[in-house]
Amino acid sequence: MVKMCKNQAKGGVLGDDCLKEINEAYWIEQIAILSSHGQRVLALCRAFVDKSSVKTGEQLWEEFVNGRPEGKWLTMIGLCAIIDPSNQGSARLGSRKRTVLLFV
């Protein structure tokens, strides 16, 4: 997702006056650090889409996201890192507990 981002939100704050050009190297480094600790990493992005390009009830699959004519069109808001315990450990606990970390 980083490669598809044009901007990043300053400190995770939304709004046109809170945007700056994305620092791809920073985000890629953060993803590498988090994933090197066994965490699942999700990029939190947003974008505005012209209403005429989407039909009511339409499913927006990866082709919609990846095939945009404008190229880089997303804004990076932050990263979400999930620590998911192993199945054996979860079975002993009797539930699926997760820890979620949010980085902006």
**Tens of pLDDT, residues 36-86:** 988 899 999 998 888 888 888 888 888 888 878 788 999 999 999 988 766
Amino acid, single-letter form, for residue 26? Y
Task: Give the range of the structural domain holding residue 56, as residue numbers without chain letter.
Answer: 2-103
User: Number of structural domains, the chain?
Assistant: 1
What torsion do the CA atoms of 68, 72, 74, 75 make, to the nearest 10 degrees? -170
Contact (CB, 8 A) for 34 and 41: yes
Q: Cα separation of 64 and 26, whole Å?
A: 26
pTM over cut 0.75:
no
What digits encode the pLDDT tens for the residues 1-24? 999 999 999 887 877 788 999 999
Q: What is the pLDDT of residue 103?
A: 56
Q: Residue 31 in 3-state DSSP?
A: helix
